[in-house]
Amino acid sequence: MPQSDLLPGGAPGAGGPLIRFDGVVKRFGANTVLDELDFTVDAGERVTLIGPSGSGKTTILRLLMTLEKVTGGVIWVNGEPLSHMRGKGGLVRAGEKHQREVRKRIGMVFQQFNLFPNMTVRQNVTEGPIHSLGVSRDEANQRAEELLDLVGLGEKIDAHPTRLSGGQQQRVAIARALAMRPEILLLDEVTSALDPELVSGVLDVLRGIAESTDITMLCVTHEMHFARDVSHRVLMFDQGKIVEEGPPEQIFGDPREERTRTFLHAVL
């Protein structure tokens, strides 16, 4: 099967951007983490969020996964609100069906792999498609085999995750996310918990997916070389705001803002 069939990317929305953050505010108590944030991501675009720790990057991904709720503003996906939100013009209501559909279209890979330890690798990858998408067991198994081959773990399909290295577990987590055929893939510091020698194997898998599909990716990473290689656009965050954005060649090669320069100087 050609990889483009195996890993379909996002179908464009109704002409507009696939994701739109519109004046999004997020507070935890008195701490304003995102402050009137506006940005968009087009279908098929790969956008990397960089910036110092605590600048709100992970919160953005968690809001998209509806693991957190916005305090204000609206997040639109495919032209519809992600959930009920209070925008500038008042309450924006989201249909229940749309909310369920949107959640299914977004996949996330976390820093801690979050695999089900009591299930085999195969069960980890087939569980979601069978129970949430209603895919037959045979079809889910076939897809799991293809995806595990793609991430280089075909022969570990019947192993338990606890027997795998961190890098292997993270590659299973990537296969598990892709098994749901997401339109949008969110990657949250997916190599931060790995021993240094395991990082490149995971990044190579992600590079391959980026190159062979048009899946929309939103990625938080400290791996600046990876960000440079895979991103169409880089957003530099500080204190819940976008300080600077641009193509990776410009952000990494010729940053305009002093804050970006000092951040890159510290991490590169």
**Where along the sequence are the contacts to ligand ADP (CB under 6 A)?**
28, 31, 33, 51, 53-59, 220
User: Shortest distance, CB of residue 83 to ligand ADP, whole angstroms?
Assistant: 17
Largest separation between any pair of C-alpha atoms in the chain: 55
How many CB atoms are located within 10 Å of the residue 83 CB?
19
DSSP state of 31: E
Residue 17 or 51: the one with the smaller Cβ distance to ligand ADP is 51
User: Shortest distance, CB of residue 81 to ligand ADP, whole angstroms?
Assistant: 21
Mapped onto helix, strand or coil, the DSSP state of residue 36 is strand
User: Shortest distance, CB of residue 245 to ligand ADP, whole angstroms?
Assistant: 15
Residue 151 or 190: the one with the smaller Cβ distance to ligand ADP is 190
User: Shortest distance, CB of residue 74 to ligand ADP, whole angstroms?
Assistant: 19
How many CB atoms are located within 10 Å of the residue 53 CB?
7
**Which is nearest to 20 in space by CA: 73, 57, 94?**
73
Residue 84 or 222: the one with the smaller Cβ distance to ligand ADP is 222
Give the side-chain half-sphere CA count within 13 A for 13.
20
DSSP string of 126-186?
Answer: HHHHHHHS---HHHHHHHHHHHHHHTT-GGGTTS-GGGS-HHHHHHHHHHHHHHT--SEEE
User: Shortest distance, CB of residue 134 to ligand ADP, whole angstroms?
Assistant: 33
Run of H or E residues at 261: helix 258-267
Give the pairing of strands 184-188 and 233-238. unpaired
Q: Which two tokens stand for residue 97?
A: 């069906």
User: Shortest distance, CB of residue 189 to ligand ADP, whole angstroms?
Assistant: 8
Residue 48 or 59: the one with the smaller Cβ distance to ligand ADP is 59
Q: What's the rounded Cα separation, in Å, for the pair 247 and 49?
A: 12
User: Shortest distance, CB of residue 188 to ligand ADP, whole angstroms?
Assistant: 8
CB 145 within 8 A of CB 126: no
